[in-house]
Structure 1
């Protein structure tokens, strides 16, 4: 019992001593600390994060809030900051947020605006409580602002009203901006347009006095700092217009009667959009058309119609080929073949039948041009040959036909059994209709060592009916017994339509299989209705020096078993196909890795409707055919 009492007294004495000791310590701390040195806690450095904007030079910072904090101060700098770096150090390029009493930062997160573009920043944060502040807490990483600002929105259809020559530009309301720079594409100097404070606050402004159908790049600035740009094309008030009666030096420009067109302009297509036009006469205004004169031949122009100072229509066209100079001109009705020599141009104004002595161009003629008038007269031709060494023969703007559909060619250079062989270096057929022949050109047993070039451009070739002759057939040229020689043979077939061949005429080009130096170039052409099964586009053309190039060409309404070559192994060594398309109901066979083509989603009947009668031939695109398809092939149908 006595022992327990002693233990209890001992424990009580120990607790009393402990209590006195604690009390003594507390009272000593209060006596020794000066409260003016206490400070609030800073934020947790591990809780700071930054997210930058992808279009605007700004960033959002998030941090861990601290208790009993009135506000925060955030400082950023492109240079590293230490405890010795004074706040707002101008020489350091620092920006301070939250120190202005009118813009205190009360809570996380906070958006930091007006950053420099493409700049890496350091950052630090401190907490403020009354007159006391924490130490600076540094962001452990750095962050970078956007490399190039893009604050302008893409203008919508509503922002680009037709025919009004203006565009509404918009951006985030309240951003610091003060003016636009407007640069017309192709110009060397920009124009400036001030942005008012009201527009800057609203985030939108109209840019006016712009030209219709013209491309501009509009850049928005704050002082000297670009903050984004957009490229826009100003839409005009579109009405239908047409170009007709095109000659080498003139054309008729006409337009809808729904708009009172009062001015027009016609400029080279390579030039920019004109700001104004030439005043129309009262008669032209009433007629809704004007004849444009003084044009250059074989040149592309764009005609513009203006109404009340704004462009309301435009159309691009190419003038006809100009009559070559340096030739002796003669009317067809006055031709006397026995007297002609040198360079001769024959004007054909009326329908005619070209009958030559022995079907041959006389040997004294160096060059000859058959020039059709604007009416494109019909001319019957049967197997034109050459008695001598002719440098050039040309046909222009003629409807060329044969009454012996299964037997004749336009040109038949045939030296079999001749004492004096003939040749031609260059054969040109342009802007012609060629119809109802066995084939277009046949070369047989030439004995001259010639380089022959054939150019067929802007033509419609239809209704060929001979067996395997097509556009070019060259036989017995080199490598066979009794053959002649031909150094090279080149065919350039461009901007033309080849249609509705009959029988076995569908071999477009055929030569003897040992002929070298044969080059075939087909560009911007439409093939329609090559209906003979098993025929070849190219036949018997092989060899290391032979070339076959096809680009931007369309095959439609043709047989589904149409061969490119006799076989995949019988082909020229140099083959290139680019942008070659076929309708969904057409298929090539005997292709190679170089003769790939794209199949359209439309059948031939969905793509075109066809009108074909004698000297008339038309392909009309369906209503739902996209522009993507219309730009393939002969562009005469893309209207």
Structure 2
């Protein structure tokens, strides 16, 4: 029995001894017995979550309340290792005032979009500090990109200028790097720039993409990418309309003419009229009368109607048509939406008075809603349009009474359009209850040229697609290159093209419900209808369904698949 009691007494003494060794206060953190120093934090347990200017660091550590236990964290843009002294030139040290006593901790004042290395040390007033413990064995983490730039609005840029604004104290920004392609320019901010928190870059190139990066020293603080707008067409005089304009009438047109004549000292002038973005402007002639007339382009005046970029495309809401009587070198419309939304214009151009115009051109426009038609020449007075050009346009939902382009003076050879050119454009729902797409009544032309165009649901039922009213008339050259034709409203008919020559057709296609194909020799007739060709033609989505014509290089390029 004594032997047994001695045995249990020995066991009890052993356990008591172990308990004394094991029960070290957790807040003492523990010592590395080999070197009589504090243990470091757990290397595998360090995690970092970043914003643009902060890093939240989490590590395995108990709250330090005894023995003044605390942690020091150093981050640096340079690599860190034991031989590097704490507090280098590109480093920040946190916790020297002993405020870091638990995890997690938020490190502030970091630079955005920057790479940092990090190490942590356990320290105490009463025990030797631990060794440095490195984040992911010396790997770096990266802060998120900072953005102190304000949003660039429509009024902040033109074809040659960009105004930037930012939100930051004057002492926290130094310069803006301007990047365009492979070219870079470093602009050092002035004290005025910094105080006003804005700068305008001038002398930029139209339709060019620039990236602006604002810095504080080497720290990137924000990035903005801006594409300048198109430049207004060249002219001897340019008029920028007020941003609050609501109506463009004859009085304003005549006032602009007088300014241009005074500026140039000439009666015949070329003028660019710039309409502000994000506006709908009514267009009318003499609006002092009970029955206001068409807006007249004064005789001898060549004019560019130009919509400014930098916002929503300006809308010209026609209350009446546009009268082009007289002589004009050019009348152009660029970057505009031109609409008759029931406002009463019925035509865009319905010309009965004599006129001579070398070029009428629509570029980057959307035209819709004219009840009767887009373009008409009528009456016995001489009317000559040398070139009618449509490029990069959307033309739709117009023309119930006439043809899309309509010349109808019963063979009067003094009334004609000499050349028609249509490129990179889409035409849909045109003259569905009207007549033909192009009509020239027994009057010859020099050329009709169509390239990279998409057509859908055009032409009146039982009408020719293109009609000169007699097969002895027509263009001297007729080209249809890289075009796609969707359905026509009517069923199969022999009325296709009535002209003295057939078109030259290259790389062009039509759906099986395009019933004018006999007029287009060498066109490729698909074995499916338009709704199997286009994604959603009824809602004006003419992208090709995959596996149809998506790699054909035909039709309006805006509907082609995005380049990979």
Normalised TM-score (structure 2): 0.51
For the 8 Å contact 1:344–1:365, the answer to whether it is kept is no
Q: Which has the higher contact order (CA 8 A, sep 6+)?
A: 2
Q: For residue 632 of structure 1, report the CA deviation from its aligned partner.
A: 1.0
Check if 1:353 corresponds to 2:279: no
SS of residue matched to 2:234:
coil
Of 541, 545, 551, the residue aligned with 1:622 is 545
When structure 1 is superposed on structure 2, of 322-331 and 381-390 the one drifting more is 322-331
User: Given the alignment, which residue of 243, 249, 270 partners 1:343?
Assistant: 270
| 2:255 is equivalent to residue 327 of structure 1 | no
Aligned to 2:316: 379
Residue 305 of structure 2: aligned partner: 370
CA contact (8 A) 1:544 1:574 kept: no
| Aligned positions of 1:40-119 closer than 5 A | none
Segments of 5+ residues of structure 1 without an aligned counterpart are 1-243, 252-262, 268-275, 282-291, 304-316, 416-420
Q: CA deviation at 1:295?
A: 6.8
Match of 1:408 among 339, 342, 346: 346
Asked if 2 retains the 8 angstrom alpha-carbon contact of 1:504 and 1:535, the reply is no
1:605 to 527, 531, 548: 531
CA-CA distance at 1:327 after TM superposition:
2.3
Task: Identify the residue that residue 635 of structure 1 maps to in structure 2.
Answer: 557
SS of the residue 2:508 aligns to: strand
Shift of 1:394: 1.3
- 1:526 and 2:454 correspond: yes
Q: Distance in 2 between matches of 1:611 and 1:264?
A: 42
- Rounded to whole Å, the distance in 2 between the matches of 1:318 and 1:519 is 36
The whole-number CA distance in structure 2 between the counterparts of 1:582 and 1:355 is: 40
Change (3 A) 1:488 1:473: closer
Q: Which of 429-438 and 448-457 deviates more?
A: 448-457
CA offsets 1:429-455 (integer angstroms, 9 cap, x no match): 111111111211101125336352111
**Aligned residue for 1:517?**
445
Aligned residues: 335
Within 1, Cα distance between the matches of 2:537 and 2:383? 43
CA contact (8 A) 1:444 1:477 kept: no
Q: 1:390 to 1:322 in 2, by over 3 A?
A: closer
Distance 2:368 2:475 in 1: 32
In structure 2, the residue matched to 1:440 is 374
Distance in 2, Cα, partners of 1:634 & 1:247: 28
Deviation of residue 476 (structure 1)? 0.7
- Distance in 1, matches of 2:476 and 2:401, equals 23
1:396 to 334, 349, 366: 334
Structure 1 residues 538 and 265: CA distance shift in structure 2, 3 A: farther
**1:474 aligned partner:** 407
1:310-368 Cα shifts (integer Å, max 9, x gaps): xxxxxxx9974653242231416486233343322222122111102331424345111
Distance 1:528 1:361 in 2: 33
- Which of residues 537, 550, 556 is equivalent to 2:465? 537
Question: Structure 1 298/478 Cα, relative in aligned 2: closer, same or farther at 3 Å?
Answer: farther
Residues in 1 aligned to 2:420 and 2:256: alpha-carbon distance in whole angstroms:
29
SS at match of 1:572: coil
* 2:421 alignment partner in structure 1: 492
Match of 1:460 in 2: 394
Contact 1:343-1:367 at 8 Å conserved across structures: yes
* Alpha-carbon spacing, 1:404–1:520, altered in 2? closer, same or farther (3 Å): farther
Tell me how far 1:637 sits from its aligned partner.
Answer: 1.3
Change (3 A) 1:601 1:588: same
Q: Matches of 1:544 and 1:532 in 2, distance apart?
A: 20
Write out per-residue CA displacement over residues 527-556 of structure 1, whole angstroms, 9 at most, x where no aligned residue.
022374323220125426543221110012
Q: Residues 436 and 460 of structure 2 are in contact (CA less than 8 Å); yes or no, is this contact kept in structure 1?
A: no
Q: What are the equivalent positions in structure 2 for 1:225-304 lying under 5 Å apart?
A: 296-297=205-206
Distance 1:326 1:501, change over 3 A: same
Structure 2 residue matching 1:558: 3-state secondary structure: coil
SS in 1 for 2:532: helix
1:237-276 Cα offsets, whole Å, 9 max, x none, are xxxxxxx99985699xxxxxxxxxxx99866xxxxxxxx7
Corresponding residue for residue 92 of structure 2: none
Give unpaired runs (5+ residues) of structure 2: 1-152, 163-176, 188-200, 212-226, 258-268, 287-292
- Contact map agreement 2:434 2:459 (CA 8 A) in 1: no
| Contact 2:409–2:415 (8 Å) recurs in 1 | no
Matched-pair contact (CA < 8 Å) for 1:391–1:424: yes
1:547 to 468, 473, 477: 477
How far residue 473 of structure 1 moved from its aligned partner, in angstroms, is 0.3
Looking at structure 2, the residues matched to 365 and 422 of structure 1 have their Cα atoms a distance apart, in angstroms, of 11
Deviates more, 1:449-458 or 1:433-442: 449-458
What is the alpha-carbon distance in structure 2 between the residues aligned to residue 547 and residue 361 of structure 1? Answer: 33
Residue in 2 aligned with 1:204? Answer: none
Aligned to 2:100: none
Q: Is the 8 A contact 1:561 1:589 kept in 2?
A: no
Residues in 2 aligned to 1:603 and 1:324: alpha-carbon distance in whole angstroms: 45
**Distance across 2 between alignment mates of 1:266 and 1:599:** 45
In the TM superposition, 1:198-237 aligns within 5 A as none
Secondary structure class of the residue paired with 1:573 = coil
Residue pair 2:355, 2:383 contacting (<8 A) in 1 also: no
Per-residue deviation, 1:582? 0.9
